[in-house]
Structure formats: C-alpha cells, structure tokens
Structure 1
C-alpha cells in the first residue's frame, strides 16, 4: 500500500511544462503587482477549460487556487482585464469542475445508510456501499503528511487546454453567457466527495467568487455545501466537531477549522439577522469545542488532530492548520464583534511564526523538499490567512514575514526551464519539479505582498 501511494503521488506531482503563453519571470522586478500578475500567466497555462480546474493540481488544491486567483482580483480591482478573466474562470469552473469530482455521491449515500443502519456506522457506510472510487486520504508515515490518493486515470483529461486561450489572456472578451449559464439554485451535491475538508475548501472558494462578482448563485452553492456538512456534527469526541471523512475514523484540525471558517464567512454574508445568528452560533460552537479539544498545544500551535481516545495526537503542526483558523477568527470577530477572537488569532499567528520560519523569516513545512500533492499547498493557505489577520489587526511582524516570503520566492524559487514556475521550497534553491499546486501556493504569498505593500 505504501509503495502504491508513492507511485500515485509521483504521478500527481509530475509537472507539465507550461506552454509558450507563459512568461519567463524577471527577477529584477520589485513591484508586487507586476510579480503576481506575471506569475498568473504561468499558472493559467495549466488551467484546463474542459475540466474547469488546473492540470497537475488535486481536487481540493483547485479550490485553493481559485481562491488565490480571486484574491489577486481583489487586490487589483481596477484591472478590468483581470476582473474579466477571473469572472470567466469562475463561471467555467462552476459548470465544468463537477465532472472532475473524484468521488461524487458518496456523502448522499452515507446519509441514507446512516438512517437505515445507524448501529453500524462506519463499516456499513464504507464496506457495504460499493461507492468507493479509489479516492482516499492517508497520513504518510515519515511525516504524517496528509496525502490524497486519486482514482486511476483521474489526472487525465479529454482534451488538455482545449479552451486555454480564453483563460490565459486578460484582454479576451467576456462571454455574454458568463453569468446566464448558471442555474438559479446550484446543487451542492456534485461538489461533495466524502471528505469534508474538500467540501469546505470549495465553499470558501465560492464565497470568494461571490465577493468579487456579487453573483448570488455562488453564495447559494457555498451555503448548500455548508448545510450538507452540518449533517456530520457531532463527532464521537466530546459531543462536537466533525470528522475528516464519511468513514468517520479521524477527527482532525483542518476539517473543523474550515467548518468554523465557512460558518463565520457565511454569517457576514447572510441576508437576514436570523440567518446570520445561525451561522454565528455554528462558528462559536465549533470554536468552543475546538479550544476544548486539546488540538491547540502548550506552544500555542495546532497539531494535526485527535487520537481515537479524543486526545491531541501530537502530530505535525502543518502551516495550513495554523493559517485557516486565523481567517476564521477574523471573520467571526467581524460578525460579532468580540475582541477576544483577534487576540486568540494573534497568539496562534505569533506562535506559528516562531515555530515555522527560518532565520530569514521564510515559512517551511517539515515535508520539504519532498512534499506530496497536498503538502505543497499548505504554506499558501497560511500566508493568505496571515494577510487577512494583518488587515484586521495590523502588526509589523506579519508584514515582514509576508514580504520576506514573497521576495524569497521571486528571487530563489523559480527556474527558467519551467517558464518561471515556482516550486515547494520558498527559500530555494528550486526543487526540480513544479506544478499548479506549488505555483499557486507560492502565488498566495505574492498576492499577500500586494495587499500589504
């Protein structure tokens, strides 16, 4: 099983050389906006118009990349070409990406089985459903890195880059059908894959798309995804929290932080006071449970999850687990407002910077330079949410780290042979493979530098 997982990891991690539309980067460029938008052309050479996601990126990674692209549009809101491009990407991803869901329908089946046979939960749901597609997640033994294993041939697409020109060129005309092709009430089911962190990453991506376009279909989709995931509450740990997956075998930080974050984000976009209060209650309930769970350790950082006995498992303090909660707390503060949420966010952020940065302030995860298709995404999530905290509670330390990482990426972490694609070790030197996930994650730092610059 271990060798098979690593074989699939290598397949997913192999990079496709971006096509000639990508620009080579100029390491003399110091302007944060020029850096990020130059890097965008390389990223978009991986975007597949037929599948609606980025080739070489995993399913949940694509949601993060879409969030980052949206944040770039937010940071440069006067760039009409960029606004047009991201609007086209959002609309195309909405219609095309469900076809790439690696395990659609499994959650709906699980809910149905839960009613029919509630006394035999996990084994009945998994072993009796015949719904397993080959998509699963494991913790790699050496580092406990989460690793997604995809079904055979999942990385293959019908026609690679068939419509790529429309999604690379910021000057391409906006299609008249961009918004009208969407259903009035999008169905969340095609976005559910049995792993609740995946589901919630997509919810956050669609909330961000709504912020940029004011298209309520995107918000409705995010609401529908969140409502579906509430069916998982509570886990077996202290009558609260949600599981990592429909198998109900692991309670971890990422799923519960995302659950809180989506609830808090939706609270700030609710269309009534009653609806807002429901979302706030979900977010606060999750935060209370999370703080009592033990996942926040004595150093103030967050370990990966809980043991079967519902105690801190003392597994790796991944950068994304330190980051997601920052954005969640900022949104919860905005919804309430309660100053204690920003105080908690600051404590976690400071502890994470102490633990995860090198002598130059560059962020690292312990899997480097051999991170898999999941671990390569983690640091971008941290930088994105650190910038969110900086916007709500400015701190010179946050600015210094954001700028140090963006500068190091630009100067040390790209290679001419891959058209300026960024790799996994932001301190450099370039690790000889790069893909949409490594590049998109690094771009989160470049976009954060735009915002604080």
Structure 2
C-alpha cells in the first residue's frame, strides 16, 4: 500500500518521550468506520454479492469489505508474537500495536465471515483475539481492555478507553454468532461489567470517547443470558439517554458532558452525535 495516497489524516503519539507522526490504522478505520460498517450492513440487508448503488463489476458490498480486510491484514507481523501494526508509515514508524486496531478488525472480519462463510476470516479473527489475550492487552476473565503493546519491549500500555471496551463487546457478540461458543457471550458480559464500573460508575456514561460503548451495550442486551447484567445495561442506557437529553437546549444544541451541570451548549456535530447514539441505544433495548 502506498500510504501517501490515503485520504485519512496523519496521527500523532508520544511514546517513550518521542513524538511520532504517522498514518495510523486505527484512525484509518475509525474515521472511515461509517462507510465500512455501512458496507457490511448493506451486505447483511441486500446480500453480500449485490451491487452498491450505481456500481457494477467489483462494486459489491462484500468486495469493499474484503479489500479493506486484505489491505489491513497485510500489516500483521510477528513482533511481540503477532498483531497488526498501528502505523503504516515506513518513513516514521511508530513501535506500537494498538488494541483498537485489532478489535475493529475482529468485528469487521467476523461480520464478513457471517456473510460469506469464508473460514479464513473467522480464523484470523480468533487468531487476533488470542494474540490480544496472550500479550495481555485483554484479560477476558476480568473484562479488562488495555490500550496496546509497545513493540520496542513488548510491554502493555494500560490506558483504557470506552470505545475499546465497546468494540470488544461487539466483536465477542459476533464471534458467538459465528461459532455458537457460549464462552464468547460470557466474556462479553465480563467486559461489559468492567466497562460499566469504569465508565459509568454512577449509572451515567462519563467517558464518551465516541458513542461506541453504549451502542454495543445495547447490542449485548438482547443476547446475554445474564439477567443481572441485562438489568444493569438497561439502567445505564436509560439514565445516560435521560442525562444526555437534559443537556440540550430548545434548539437541540447539546453538550457532550452528561454528568454534573452542563457548562456549555453548542451546535457541535460530535455532541449531537453522542446524544443521538444514546437515544439509538435506548431504542434498541426498548424496541
């Protein structure tokens, strides 16, 4: 891949006291998450081999997803036992493997497997998850999700973010759908429980690094057999949606901070997106 031809912004990271600037695979997927998720959803709705509107030839829903998977998986290597690299910039490489890069790939590849039954997609999804466990980025028994691995010394960076927890919950749900292995649902429950304790300790989602966490809690709600967890998910989503709406003024300008008194109202897309996502999560669990 020629990274100079990509259209995503460059990223920046401080690691071991050094500033790194590079093309980042997690940014590549986060900033383009909507079209790629839409491509998978389009395949689920219309059939994976149906054509996207106005396209023919290689313009099927699944072809876009498969090309993305192939391109990203090219950046798997054996440093620190495996995993996909974070930086694709050969001139300014970052010695890091970000957890979210792996987690987004797992969800994308597993959903593609569910559409195509291509066993390779399921194999590499489970391979990535196993690497995350072996490298201690993820602890499925405690439900802990760390940020990633510094490949200079294979140490784990222990920052934690709500979107990583949400992505892992979603990926585990998809793996359960793909394999029928109930352990995946049990692990998803562990991750959700730990995530709620960390990011919604008082019942309202506090750390809103993207709305992914609430959305995937909503996806877990109808499939978990754990009634106590189902009740906690319902409570957090309902309380968060109510708190989110309380930040909006009469023109529907909303704040992104849902805990405590809101300090500002502003017509910002991100805050509106967060509030809308809370309402979508509420709709999912209430029907």
Task: Using structure 2 for the length normalisation, give the TM-score.
Answer: 0.80
Query: What is the aligned partner in structure 2 of residue 440 from structure 1?
Result: 273
Candidates 213, 217, 222, aligned match of 1:382 = 213
Offset, 1:286: 0.7
Deviations 1:244-263 (A, max 9, x none): 22034121111010111111
Q: What is the distance in 2 between the residues matched to 1:199 and 1:132?
A: 9
* Superposed CA offset, 1:349-376 (max 9, x none): 10111111142x11112xxxxxxxxxx6
Equivalence for 2:110: 264
CA contact (8 A) 2:248 2:265 kept: no
Q: Which residue does 2:126 correspond to in 1? A: 284
TM-superposed CA distance for 1:299, in Å, is 5.4
Distance 1:135 1:209 in 2: 26
Find the counterpart in structure 2 of residue 103 from structure 1. none
2: CA distance between counterparts of 1:452 and 1:133?
A: 36
Q: Is residue 183 of structure 2 the alignment partner of residue 340 of structure 1?
A: yes
Q: Is the 8 A contact 1:409 1:442 kept in 2?
A: yes
Give the 3 Å change call, closer, same or farther, for CA 413–430 of structure 1 in structure 2. farther
Question: CA-atom RMSD, angstroms?
Answer: 2.6
Distance 1:339 1:132, change over 3 A: closer
Specify whether residues 309 and 434 from structure 1 end up closer, same or farther in structure 2 by C-alpha distance, changes over 3 A only: farther
- Displacement of 1:134: 9.4
TM-score, normalization by structure 1: 0.52
Provide the residue aligned with 1:331 in structure 2.
174
Residue 140 of structure 1: how far off its partner (Å): 7.5
Aligned to 1:95: none
For residues 275 and 13 of structure 2, the distance between their equivalents in structure 1, rounded to whole angstroms, comes to: 23
Q: Distance in 2 between matches of 1:380 and 1:422?
A: 15
The alignment covers a number of residue pairs equal to 256
Q: How does 1:174-185 map to 2 (within 5 A)?
A: none
Counterpart in the other structure of 2:67: 224
Q: Which residue of 2 aligns with 1:303?
A: 146
Q: Partners of 2:198 and 2:73 in 1: how far apart?
A: 33
Once the two structures are TM-superposed, the CA of residue 203 in structure 1 deviates from its matched residue by 2.4
Deviation of 1:204 (Å): 2.4
The match for 1:85 is none
More strand by share: 2
Cα distance in 1, alignment partners of residues 201 and 220 from structure 2: 21
Q: Please say if residues 383 and 402 of structure 1, whose CA atoms lie closer than 8 Å, have aligned partners that are also in contact.
A: yes
Distance in 1, matches of 2:114 and 2:67, equals 16
In the TM superposition, what is the alpha-carbon distance from 1:133 to its structure 2 partner? 8.3
**1:220/1:421 CA distance change after superposition, 3 Å:** farther
CA deviations 1:271-329 (Å, max 9, x no partner) are xx4x2x111101110110011111136953212122231221122x1100110011111
Which residue is 2:57 aligned to?
none
Q: For residues 146-192 of structure 1, give each alpha carbon's deviation from its aligned partner in whole angstroms, at most 9, with x where no partner exists.
A: xxx9xxxxxxxxxxxxxxxxxxxxxxxxxxxxxxxxxxxxxxxxxxx
User: Deviation at 1:434?
Assistant: 4.4
**Aligned partner (choices 74, 77, 85) of residue 234 of structure 1:** 77
Q: Is the 1:235–1:243 contact (alpha carbons within 8 Å) kept by the matching residues of 2?
A: no
Partner of 1:113: none
Query: 2:10 is matched with which residue?
Result: 136
- Find the aligned partners of 1:260 and 1:134 in 2 and give their Cα distance: 21
The aligned counterpart of 1:197 is 26
Structure 1: tracts of 5 or more residues without a match: 1-107, 111-128, 142-148, 150-192, 366-375
What's the secondary structure of 2:145's corresponding residue? coil
Note closer, same or farther for the CA distance 1:235–1:199 as it changes in structure 2 (3 Å cut): farther
Deviations 1:391-426 (A, max 9, x none): 22151111111111111111x22123xx20332112
Gap change, CA 1:383 and 1:132, over 3 Å in 2: closer
Higher relative contact order (CA 8 A, sep 6+): 1
Q: Is the 8 A contact 2:26 2:98 kept in 1?
A: no
Q: How much has 1:229 moved relative to structure 2?
A: 0.8
Counterpart of 1:252 (choices 48, 73, 98) is 98
Q: CA deviation at 1:441?
A: 2.4
Note if contact 1:300-1:347 (Cα within 8 Å) is conserved in structure 2: yes
Structure 1 residues 356 and 278: CA distance shift in structure 2, 3 A = same
Q: Secondary structure at the match of 1:415?
A: coil
1:209 corresponds to 2:52? no
Q: Larger Cα Rg: Structure 1 or Structure 2? A: 1
Q: Is 1:415 matched with 2:249?
A: yes
User: What CA distance in whole angstroms lies between the structure 2 residues aligned with 1:251 and 1:283?
Assistant: 16
